[in-house]
Amino acid sequence: MLNIAVCVKQVPDTEARLSVAADKTRIEEQGISFILNPYDEHAVEEAIRLKEKQGGTVTVFCLGPARAEEAIRTALAMGADKAVHLADAAFGGGDEGTAAAALEKAIAGKSFDLVLAGRLAIDDASGQVGARLAEKLGWPHVTAVTRLAVEGREAVANREIDGGSQVVAVTLPAVITAQRGLNQPRYPKIPDIMKARRKEVAKVTPADLGLSGGEVGGAGAKGKVAGLAPAPGRSAGKVIAGEPADAARKVVGLLRDEAKVI
């Protein structure tokens, strides 16, 4: 039996056309759709597979605004059993540290054997929350996992490293972050989606977690977004004519002198 917690985040749809909001510190949310973070889908899928194999429960934890409940419902439709939504407005404006601190308070002491999360969220790509959460829990962790086996109180994980892969064994409880390739997330069936709509999602406030206003959200954040700007547009390409050997020399020169990539 495994009791598994999965940390998820709602992010802008990968197909959404993003623009910078008027205050230059966030994206404009009006008119765009949001989804369950793709890396977190792998974490949810792996948790469900472990539950199906060994028994136990899967509980989803999500820190985010009211709209993030849709991402939670997606995880429930995939097969998660329970959900906790850290939805209070006081959580807003935080950083990776405040997110990890709040999630630690929500997870600690609940007899979880394993915490799964995505390697990173595609909106900020910081990849910090899983490691920070493990540090606060005092648990071992393995990041960017592409294969996971759990037997008894040991988890054996294959993870990506520069130029290859690494096999790491840790004693449970532990925190694992999922890389693409760990599995193929399932598509929820219509009956499961309907059942997920009826499942209760527990709402949690900072006070419920024993956190003060100065420890969460923007008030507790050590880092703040100074500003956002649209990515610069791409300049027109160049066509290099002439004999292949001459053209190749010109391309190398441009890459060295103008693009400065070699």
256 and 167 together in one domain: no
Our count of domains for the chain comes to 2
Which whole-number Å values give the CA distances from 112 to 10, 51, 136, 171, in the listed order?
23, 13, 15, 13
143 and 259 together in one domain: no
How much is the pLDDT for 260? 79
133 and 61 together in one domain: yes
Mean pLDDT across the chain? 91
Q: Would 209 be classed as within a structural domain?
A: yes
Q: How far apart are CA 148 and CA 40, in angstroms?
A: 15
Which parts of 152-218 are beta strand (E)? 154-161, 164-171, 174-178, 202-204
96 and 178 together in one domain: yes
185 and 262 together in one domain: no
How much is the pLDDT for 242? 87
125 and 153 together in one domain: yes
How much is the pLDDT for 85? 98
Q: Would 124 be classed as within a structural domain?
A: yes
Per residue in 157-184, pLDDT (tens digit) is 999 888 888 999 999 999 999 999 999 9
Provide mean pLDDT across the span 35-48.
Answer: 97
Q: What is the pTM of this model?
A: 0.86
The domain of 261 spans: 235-262
How much is the pLDDT for 32? 86
Per residue in 202-260, pLDDT (tens digit) is 999 999 999 998 888 888 888 777 778 777 777 777 888 888 888 898 889 888 888 77
Give yes or no for residue 50 having a pLDDT over 90.
yes
Which residues are registered as beta bridge partners of 243?
none
149 and 255 together in one domain: no
Q: Would 230 be classed as within a structural domain?
A: no
Q: Would 82 be classed as within a structural domain?
A: yes
258 and 135 together in one domain: no
Asked if 48 and 168 touch (Cβ cutoff 8 Å), the reply is no
